[in-house]
Amino acid sequence: NVTTEVKSVEMHHEQLVEGLPGDNVGFNVKNVSVKDIRRGNVASDSKNDPAKEAASFNAQVIVLNHPGQIGAGYAPVLDCHTAHIACKFSELLEKIDRRTGKAIEQAPKFVKSGDACIVKLIPSKPMCVE
């Protein structure tokens, strides 16, 4: 955990008062070395709305191309923002229609290529998700 103060925010070389959701901004901070920051770190307002790590989270997953079946216990590497972390499928909650998102089957035992589902994931390392 690194706590600091933001000195300036900019987007496309133009100074901003704040970054808004969806903006790709750069920011300058006080007294923090580049050695103190690693890929996957998340910046947030530590006083008013601090980022918190997720012990688990639900995700909509579409299996594009995978040999065989995928069930609980499968642990693919997930890319979320710049984080690159293995996350275990702890529970397959429901199989859904790829196009409508409507539930087809509750608590399926497995999914395969072409299937879409809602899965409870548990990250192997601390991870912030939105």
For the chain, give the percent of residues with pLDDT over 70. 100
* Residue pLDDT, tens place only, 2-28: 899 999 999 999 999 988 888 889 999
User: By C-alpha distance, which of 54, 36, 52, 44 is closest to 125?
Assistant: 54
* Residue pLDDT, tens place only, 58-114: 999 999 999 999 999 999 999 988 889 999 999 999 999 999 999 999 999 999 999
* Residue pLDDT, tens place only, 31-68: 998 899 887 788 888 899 998 999 999 999 999 999 99
Quote the tokens at residue 93: 């909650």
**HEC readout, 63-95:** CCCCCCCECCCCCCEEEECCEEEEEEEEEEEEE
In the chain, the domains with their CATH numbers are 6-36 (no CATH), 57-123 (2.40.30.10)
